[in-house]
Amino acid sequence: MYVNELQEAFIAVKQYEPQSSNELLDFAQQQYLKGFFNSYELQSRCT
């Protein structure tokens, strides 16, 4: 998952833009724990 895709998902759920990269990473962690995406999705776009 690209950062811009993650940011779009954040905005769709939270209805506002993340204030920091930490807030976006916390969101990604929560979505991962809930099973909305897996580690392969995150890693495949980062390499």
**Model confidence, pTM:** 0.74
Q: Return the pLDDT at 22.
A: 95
pLDDT band at 47 (very low <50, low <70, confident <90, very high): very low
The 3-state DSSP class for residue 36 equals coil
| Whether pLDDT at 7 is above 70 | yes
- Based on its alpha-carbon atoms, the radius of gyration of the chain, rounded to whole angstroms, reads 10
Contact predicate 1/38, CB 8 Å: no
Cβ atoms 45, 2 nearer than 8 A? yes
**How far, in Å, CA of 7 to CA of 20, rounded?**
11
